[in-house]
Amino acid sequence: MSRTLIVRNRATQDVRQQANYILANGNTPAAERFLEMVEVTFALLLRTPGIGKVVTFVPDRKL
């Protein structure tokens, strides 16, 4: 069975922003590794779609 991974525009923007941040701080090899690992992670999600768990984050309330 063929699976499709949907990567939302917001996720793509976040990945690019992080890679650009790493690049801007002068670490080109780290930025390249980061992008490679994103691709590896997406491939893993395609092979194992039920991996991990869904977590709802609740922001801390400042009193």
The Cα–Cα gap between 27 and 40 comes to 20
The Cα–Cα gap between 44 and 18 comes to 20
pLDDT at 63: 59
DSSP string, 38-62: HHHHHHHHHH-TT-S------PPPP
pLDDT at 13: 96
The Cα–Cα gap between 56 and 26 comes to 34
Tens of pLDDT, residue by residue, the chain (63 residues): 678 888 999 999 999 999 999 999 999 999 999 999 999 999 998 999 888 787 888 888 775
pLDDT at 1: 64
pLDDT at 2: 76
